[in-house]
Amino acid sequence: MVILLRTTQELEAERSKDSTVGFVPTMGNLHQGHISLLECALSEYSTVYFSIFVNPKQFGPNEDFNRYPRTLEHDISLIEKAQSKFPNSKVVVYSPLDPKEVFPESSNQTISVLGLSTDLEGKIRPGHFDGVATVVYRLFKLTKPTTAYFGLKDYQQYLVIKKMVKDLNMPVKIQGMPIIRETDGLALSSLNQYLTPEQKEASLILSKTLKSLHNTISGKSENLAKAQKLIQDYLADKNWNYLEMRDSETFSRDISFSKNITILAVYQMGTTRLLDNMQVALSRPEV
């Protein structure tokens, strides 16, 4: 069963009927990456809440909130197909008709995860992660999930949410889910639809570069300096917004003692910013 709810009042009434639930927050315009989160949630919970809400608070003044694709009918058909693989399951889709359903006029709080929110992606998009943390906080309050599922493609977002939940002692487990890629390596994203066929082909530079850095490091901390040198060479191409290695847990630039690192990148393809990352587990020589 798939139930579509358009108001917070309906959501609260429905939520009072369920005990433990999984939750998948999205902005809609769904693709297989979102559906992999839903299917994982359905494999763990018989009831899953799924939000479709284009959050105005996470768009900057020069970012096109109005142009973000709204494709509810298509989204619901993908959700129904996924739900039908799990007999007796229930998916409650919360797609509020009006942003005031999520952010009532009387509420003017902002959740800000200091430090992490203004680093790297947050430096380029000021206020973006405050908007994300604020909406996710509000959606958690409404859906009261036991586990919430986030794609690791937005790795910094995943860390921001984990930190918010830890700092505010929220009783929800945050489950990071693997990046889903096309067979040629391009990470799935709602933004890929804006690419021309030529741009799509050229976008492979992103996953290929991450893979080549991954192979250079090849799990050995001794190879980090070699990878760092390669990064400096790659950055001669000014289409990289950034290409950096960070500690996967602390997000620190200092990876001298890291056991796991994440290589994070954004490549500018025309007007589209393509975001991707790759995890590397490191072995360190015995001392």
Give catalytic residues, as residue numbers.
34
Q: Are strands 272-281 and 22-26 parallel, antiparallel or unpaired?
A: unpaired
In the complex with ligand PAF, which residue's Cβ is closer, 47 or 55? 55
Is 58 a binder of ligand PAF (CB under 6 A)? yes
Q: How far apart are CA 202 and CA 45, in angstroms?
A: 40
CA dist list (Å): 124 to 121, 228, 230, 244? 5, 22, 23, 14
Contact with ligand PAF (CB under 6 A) among 27, 204, 205, 230: 27
Residue 221 interacts with ligand PAF (CB under 6 A): yes or no: no
Q: Which of residues 228-267 bind ligand PAF (CB under 6 A)?
A: none
* Spatial contact of 275 and 210, defined as CB atoms under 8 Å apart: no
CA distances from 42 to 47, 162, 240 (A): 7, 21, 37
Q: Among residues 25 and 122, whose Cβ is nearest to ligand PAF?
A: 25
Q: Give the binding range for ligand PAF (CB under 6 A) out of 25-33, 98-106, 180-188, 196-204.
A: 25-33
Smallest distance, ligand PAF to C-beta of residue 254, A: 28
Cβ-Cβ contacts under 8 Å for 97 (sequence gap 6 or more): 6, 7
**37 or 255: CB nearest ligand PAF:** 37
Beta strands 240-247 and 90-94 are unpaired
Give the tokens for residue 264: 């994070």
Nearer to ligand PAF, 176 or 185 (CB): 176
**CA 119, CA 231: separation in Å to the nearest integer?**
19
Question: Least distance (Å) from ligand PAF to the CB of residue 157?
Answer: 6
How far is 21 from 34, CA to CA, in rounded Å?
17
Residue with tokens 């995943």: 158
In the complex, the smallest distance separating the C-beta of residue 27 from ligand PAF, rounded to whole angstroms, is 4
Nearer Cβ to ligand PAF (15/153)? 153
| 123-162 binders of ligand PAF (CB under 6 A) | 132, 135-136, 154, 157
122 touching ligand PAF, by CB under 6 A: no
**Sole window of 10-18, 21-29, 205-213, 253-261 interacting with ligand PAF (rule: CB under 6 A):** 21-29
Does residue 55 belong to the site contacting ligand PAF (CB under 6 A)?
A: yes
∠ CA(149), CA(152), CA(156), 5° rounding? 105
Residue 224, interface with ligand PAF (CB under 6 A)?
Answer: no
- Residue 121 or 244 with smaller CB distance to ligand PAF: 121
Using alpha carbons, select from 137, 149, 151, 115 the residue that is nearest to residue 21: 149
Footprint on this chain of ligand PAF (rule: CB under 6 A) = 25-27, 55, 58, 132, 135-136, 154, 157
